[in-house]
Amino acid sequence: MPTDFDIAIVGSGYAGSIMAMVARRLGRRVLLLDKSKHPRFAIGESSTPLANLLLEEIATEFDLPQLLPLTAWGPWQRTHPKIGCGLKRGFSFYHHTAGQPFSPRHDRSNELLVAASPNDEVADTHWYRPDFDQFLAQEAAKLGVDLIEEVDLEKPEFTPTGVKLSGRHKGTRHSWTTGLLIDATGPDGFLHRQLGLKENPFPHLPETQALFGHFTGVARWADLMAGQAGSPPYAPDDAALHHVFDGGWMWVLRFNNGITSAGVSVTPTLAAQLNLSEGEPAWRRFLDRFPSIGEQFRNAAATRPFTHAPAVGFRCAEVVGESWCLLPSAAGFMDPLLSTGFPLALLGIQRLGRTLRDSPSQQALAGYQTETLADLAIVEELVSALFARMDDFGTFTALTMLYFAAASFSESAKRLGRGELAPGFFLRGHEVFRAGLLDCCHRARNGSPSGALVADIRRRVEPFNVIGLFNPARRNWYPVDFEDLYRDAAKLLASRDDIDVFLHKAGLR
Ligand SMILES: Cc1cc2nc3c(=O)[nH]c(=O)nc-3n(C[C@H](O)[C@H](O)[C@H](O)COP(=O)(O)OP(=O)(O)OC[C@H]3O[C@@H](n4cnc5c(N)ncnc54)[C@H](O)[C@@H]3O)c2cc1C
């Protein structure tokens, strides 16, 4: 029996829609279903250099030029000024102590700024998801994907030829048959619930909770720091701004439409102290606890009700089955701390796209499951270590260097056409880096004293350090300085000329 569709995707967030576009470009008949209707709120907004590189690769590999302008701030603003977006020049961290105002120090030991791009043109972005996801769902429909919103789906039925999906749409019951079902509904999503898939909690990560919303009137942090000496490598608010404190952290992401996304992710202890499930009153308690953050939000007004996420971390034990698979974003998520949601989802889309091109076998899908679960495991190592040292900012800063080294080394290697030097997400396929990361994260979680641990992290990072990390002269402010890359070209088995070519090709020089 032929099926109505080759592929049905449940969930038309950015991930489901891009997956649908890829499948369509591969000549498949694609159905895209969603229980809600665009534009709709979605959380998860901050992109990274690796996420944008993956988006670029997907655009090129699967002939989707409409994605290219969305890979950097400059072309996005010229091409789609109406799709809400935030400028992200880097990662800004400030460490706070409860009850005390933040006070900048001469050695900048309570802050960390790491630039991700040398200028606004090529900078990363925050995706204003109501606009962004709607645009992508519409683009998918333009390519011939059958997009059906506001569908209330029932439990799927598995047949010898694939899957039968049924559900109610506009008061009428419909059924569709498909060869493959892809779940893009996010953590604890459609197939996890309908098939009763087993959960496999992260062993090291605390059971964090989150409280978040969208606001207007959030002050720029730089204005509160107006007296600070020196000129930072980029405006600290044009970034993913993190406030870090004992028991958790906060994100502040500014969009160009007057809206700022902000939220906290905290350990169960702090969540209980704040009584986080209460929503707005808990938010006020949090702002009272950290006076400088309170000052930043003094005139802020929420534009939508607060969302309380009682369990942020989630991992499904199974990622694929007979005629179905989960996108990485449905397979698991630990915490937004290192903005890993987007690159992991895009990596999964790229992998599945390649599998579909070669006509998918159960063996290929099993390989996809192994890779997806290994990616989640390595991210958990680092995120859980960071959570363990939220109140020890020196160690926290050193641990983030594992992330910045892996990300910048991987990006540079890929852009040099030497992707084989950077195997796996977070270099997890690189034996030397992996061993160093696992050891340092293990010790960080187990209370290893800061001095020796920081020295060791520095030693482990050095062979992969191509952006001048740990340079004491920078006092925790890291601009993009291409001299670092030229000096360390040999670590990438490259010459100065190779670096020149790559920087020009990437529009970085
Ligand atoms: C608090 C928080 C902050 C985050 N911040 C970041 C960040 O800064 N950077 C980053 O990279 N990642 C971040 N993430 C991760 C990010 O949110 C996810 O990677 C991303 O949203 C996944 O997108 P998606 O399209 O797969 O799913 P979603 O955006 O969740 O979309 C799922 C879609 O599926 C639909 N759906 C759900 N259930 C059903 C059903 N039963 N039937 C039909 N349709 C259904 C929904 O209506 C929705 O449209 C964050 C996550 C959290 C929880």
Output the CA angle 452-455-461, nearest 5 degrees. Answer: 140
| Model confidence at 135: pLDDT above 80 | yes
Fold match between 5-82+128-198+317-370 and 88-126+206-309?
no
At 400 the pLDDT is: 98
Tokens coding 454: 């920081």
Closest CA to 47 of 134, 132, 138: 132
Residue with CA closest to ligand 1 atom 42: 35
| Model confidence at 411: pLDDT above 80 | yes
* Rounded distance from Cα 402 to ligand 1 centre (Å): 26
Q: Express each pLDDT in 305-336 by its tens digit.
A: 999 999 999 999 999 999 999 999 999 999 99
**Mean pLDDT across the stretch 489-509?**
92
User: Would you place residue 509 in the very low, low, confident or very high pLDDT band (cuts 50, 70, 90)?
Assistant: confident
CA-to-CA distance for 438 and 415, rounded, in angstroms?
Answer: 26
User: Which CATH number describes the domain made up of 88-126+206-309?
Assistant: 3.30.9.100
335 lines ligand 1 (CB under 6 A): no
* Rounded distance from Cα 329 to ligand 1 centre (Å): 7
At 344 the pLDDT is: 98
> Which atom of ligand 1 approaches the CA of 212 most closely?
1
Tell me the C-alpha to C-alpha distance, in Å, between residue 395 and each of 313, 339, 507: 23, 20, 34
User: Which CATH number describes the domain made up of 5-82+128-198+317-370?
Assistant: 3.50.50.60
What is the value of pTM for the model shown? Answer: 0.97
Q: What percentage of residues in the chain have a pLDDT greater than 70?
A: 100
Q: Express each pLDDT in 80-125 by its tens digit.
A: 999 999 999 999 999 999 999 999 999 999 999 999 999 999 999 9
Backbone angles phi, psi at 108, to 5 degrees: 55, 35
> Which atom of ligand 1 approaches the CA of 48 most closely?
11
At 2 the pLDDT is: 83
- Mean pLDDT over the full length of the chain: 97
Q: Express each pLDDT in 275-314 by its tens digit.
A: 999 999 999 999 999 999 999 999 999 999 999 999 999 9
Amino acid, res. 121: E
348 lines ligand 1 (CB under 6 A): no
* Rounded distance from Cα 42 to ligand 1 centre (Å): 6
> Which atom of ligand 1 approaches the CA of 210 most closely?
1
| Model confidence at 474: pLDDT above 90 | yes
> Which atom of ligand 1 approaches the CA of 265 most closely?
1
CA-to-CA distance for 440 and 178, rounded, in angstroms?
Answer: 46
At 236 the pLDDT is: 97
| Model confidence at 58: pLDDT above 80 | yes
213 lines ligand 1 (CB under 6 A): no
| Model confidence at 137: pLDDT above 80 | yes
33 lines ligand 1 (CB under 6 A): yes
User: Would you place residue 508 in the very low, low, confident or very high pLDDT band (cuts 50, 70, 90)?
Assistant: confident
- Helix (H, G, I), strand (E, B), or coil: what is residue 427? helix
User: Would you place residue 226 in the very low, low, confident or very high pLDDT band (cuts 50, 70, 90)?
Assistant: confident
CA-to-CA distance for 357 and 352, rounded, in angstroms?
Answer: 8
Q: Where are the domains of the chain?
A: 5-82+128-198+317-370, 88-126+206-309, 392-505
CA atoms within 13 A on the CB side of 48: 23
At 298 the pLDDT is: 98
Tokens coding 161: 């030829």
Best residue for ligand 1 mutational test, from 147, 185, 208 (most atoms within 8 Å of Cβ): 185
* Rounded distance from Cα 116 to ligand 1 centre (Å): 24
* Rounded distance from Cα 186 to ligand 1 centre (Å): 5
49 lines ligand 1 (CB under 6 A): no
Tell me the C-alpha to C-alpha distance, in Å, between residue 280 and each of 243, 271, 302: 19, 13, 9
User: How many of the other CB atoms lie within 10 Å of CB of 506?
Assistant: 16
Output the CA angle 387-393-395, nearest 5 degrees. Answer: 75
CA-to-CA distance for 320 and 85, rounded, in angstroms?
Answer: 34
At 139 the pLDDT is: 98
At 350 the pLDDT is: 98
Residue with CA closest to ligand 1 atom 50: 44
Looking at the DSSP bridge assignments, the partners of residue 212 are 263, 307
At 360 the pLDDT is: 74
At 247 the pLDDT is: 97
Residue with CA closest to ligand 1 atom 29: 13
